[in-house]
Amino acid sequence: MGFDSTALGFNEPTLTTAAYVCYVLAFLCYVVHLLAKSSRVRVAQGQLALAGSGASTSSTVSVVVMGGTAADLLPDSRQARYSLLMGRSASSFTLLAWVSLTLALTFRWVEAGHPPYVTLYEIATMLVWGTTTIYLALLEGVVKTRAVGAFIVLLILCLETYALLFIPADLKRTVQLVPALRSYWLMIHVSIAIMSYSAFAVAAGAGLTFLAKHYTKSPVAQALPSEAAIEEFMFRAVAVGFPLQTLLLITGAIWAQEAWTKAWAWDPKEVWALVTWLAYAAYLHVRVQRGVRGVTMAWLSLIGFIVVLITFMGVNYLVTWFGIKSMHTYSVDNGAPNSIGVVGLGMVLFLAAVLGLVLFSWLRTNFPILKKARGKQRHLPAAHQSKRD
C-alpha cells in the first residue's frame, strides 16, 4: 500500500502517524515530568532553608548544585510519585513511537524491495528512528536519566514533523534504485551514516539542555542534571558518533571506488561529510586536548548538528538551487521532483539564524574583557580619566 493512501489499518501511513502521536505525547509527559520535579525543588529549597536555622539562599543553592537537585534530599512524596509516573509514561511513549516507526519502515522496505535509504523522506525518517534508538539505548538505557528527554524528544519531534508534514508527497513514494545503488554497500554505508548522525542529534539535544540549564535560573532549570553531567552526556554521544563518521568516510570511499572507479570526486555530499568529520574532530580536540568545558561545548554541538543537517538533507536543496551536479541526490535521478518551496527557504533562514546566535554568544563569551574595560572607564572619576590621558 502506498504512503499516499489514507486507509486506516496495519500499514505504513497508520503506523507512521501513530509514531508521530506517540512522540507528541512523550514530549508532553517529559515536560510535565520536569515541572513536577521542579515543584519538588521548590519544596526542598524551602525545607532546607528552614532546617538550616538562618541558612542563606547561597548555601541552599550550593546544596542543590552539589546534590544534583534539592528534591533528591526529600523523602518519597506525592510530587515524587507523580514525577516518576510522568517520566515512565514519557519513556513508554518514546519506546512505543520507536516500535511503531520501526514497523512502518519495515513495511516500506518490503514494498520497495530495498532499504528505505533513498528519498528525502526516507532519509529524514531514518534520522528520526536512529536518534530515538541512540537516545533510548545511551541515555535511558546506560546513563538512566530522563531529565534531558524533553529537549531530545523535542528535536526528534521537529525532525518527524518536517518529514511527515512538509516534505512533498512526490518524495514520499518509494522509488527504484539506480544501478550505482544496487550494492550491498548501500546497507553498510547508509546504516553507518544514520547511526552516526543520530548520535550527533542526541549530542545536540544535550547541548540544548545545557544551554537551558545555564541561561535560565528557574526551578525547572534546577530540576535538570548538573551542567557537568549534561556535558558528559553530550561528550558520550559525540564519542559514539565520531568513530562511526570516520567509518562512514572510509566505506563511502571504498563504495565509490567500486561503483565509479574513483574513491573521491569532490561531490557535494562527500565534501559536507568531510566538513562534518572536521567539525566533530574539532569538538573532541577542544574538549580533550584543550580541556574546554561549559557553554562553548554546547554551542559546538549545535554547530556540528547544523552541519549534519546540511550533509544529510540540505545538500538536496543546495544542488537544486545552484545547479550543482551530484551523484548522491538520487531522488532527482529517479524522476521525483525535488520541490523546494517555502520549507527549503525556511530551513536555510533558520540555520542562518542559529549560526548568527552562536556567533553572537561566542563573541560575548570570549571577549568579556572589552565590555568590562569600557564599563570601568565610564565609571572612572574625571581626575582618573585625565591621568590616564
Could you report the per-residue pLDDT of 64-75, keeping only the tens digit for each?
333 344 444 444
pLDDT score for 73 = 42
pLDDT score for 8 = 67
pLDDT score for 353 = 59
DSSP state of 242: H
pLDDT score for 337 = 41
- H-type helices in the chain, by residue range? 12-51, 57-66, 78-112, 120-134, 149-161, 185-215, 219-223, 227-260, 268-284, 295-309, 315-322, 330-333, 341-366, 368-379, 382-388
SS3 category, 117: coil
The ranges of the chain with pLDDT < 70 are 1-8, 40-77, 322-324, 326-389
pLDDT score for 55 = 45
pLDDT score for 370 = 43
Q: How far apart are CA 241 and CA 57, in angstroms?
A: 41
| Exposed / middle / buried, residue 76 (Cβ in 10 Å: 0-12, 13-18, 19+) | exposed
| Exposed / middle / buried, residue 96 (Cβ in 10 Å: 0-12, 13-18, 19+) | middle
